[in-house]
Amino acid sequence: MPIIKDKNKLNPIFLPFVNRIIEVAKSNGVQLIVNETLRTNDVQFAYYLQGREGLLTVNKYRKEAGLYLLTEKENERIITNKTSVNTREGHGAGLAVDLVPSEGWSAPQSKWDIIGKAVDIVAKYSVEHLENIKMMLVWGGNWKSLKDTPHVELKYK
């Protein structure tokens, strides 16, 4: 199964946060597109192999998962440390989304940073609600290793 991009597949608790992040980014001059919502184990494993295995192996798994094939250059970078999805959190539970500026993956860093700014703004104005549901908004651009600037997640505290 290819990448799932349907916002309606997101957990209904998370969807309003995603919609608001998209609105805040737009008000800051950045149009965001939903690149991925739910994720299958086949897709996750193909992502895991990237940067760890040779191009033929990586592309074999990517093809089976319905993903586009990589070039040698694209296969130089590790993009995840997870081999499978957890159905109780993140992409496996509809509690994570990957948002990309409308210019695509080559958008300038300043556009990616707007995603983080939008997450911060939405989290700031949702503190009480987030406390009530014992969750927090997380932006992958703040991670210390393997930064994931498109990634936004609603995590349990």
3-state secondary structure 66-124: CCCCCCCCHHHCCCCCCCCCCCCCHHHHCCEEEEEECCCCCCCHHHHHHHHHHHHHHHH
pLDDT (tens digit per residue) in 15-47? 999 999 999 999 999 999 999 999 999 999 999
**130 confidence band (pLDDT: 50, 70, 90):** very high
pLDDT at 99 over 80: yes
Residue 139 per-residue DSSP state: E
Predicted TM-score (pTM) of this structure: 0.92
* Under 8 Å between Cβ of 21 and 99: yes
- Predicted pLDDT at 32: 98
Show the domains of the chain with their CATH numbers: 1-39+87-157 (3.30.1380.10), 40-84 (no CATH)
Phi-psi group of 145: left, alpha or beta (phi > 0 → left; psi -120 to 50 → alpha; rest → beta): beta
d(CA 57, CA 148): 23
pLDDT of residue 123: 95
**Integer Cα distance of 86 and 70 in angstroms:** 25
- Rounded CA-CA distance 12/149 in Å is 23
Q: Is 107 exposed, middle or buried (0-12, 13-18, 19+ CB in 10 A)?
A: middle
Mean pLDDT of 43-68: 97
pLDDT band at 157 (very low <50, low <70, confident <90, very high): confident
pLDDT at 145: 87
Share of the chain above pLDDT 90, in %: 95
- 2: pLDDT strictly greater than 90: no
Angstrom distance (rounded) from CA 32 to CA 57 = 32
Give the neighbor-by-neighbor strand order of the sheet with 135-139.
Answer: 32-36, 96-101, 151-156, 135-139
d(C-alpha 35, C-alpha 97), whole Å: 8
> What average pLDDT does the segment 74-86 reach?
95
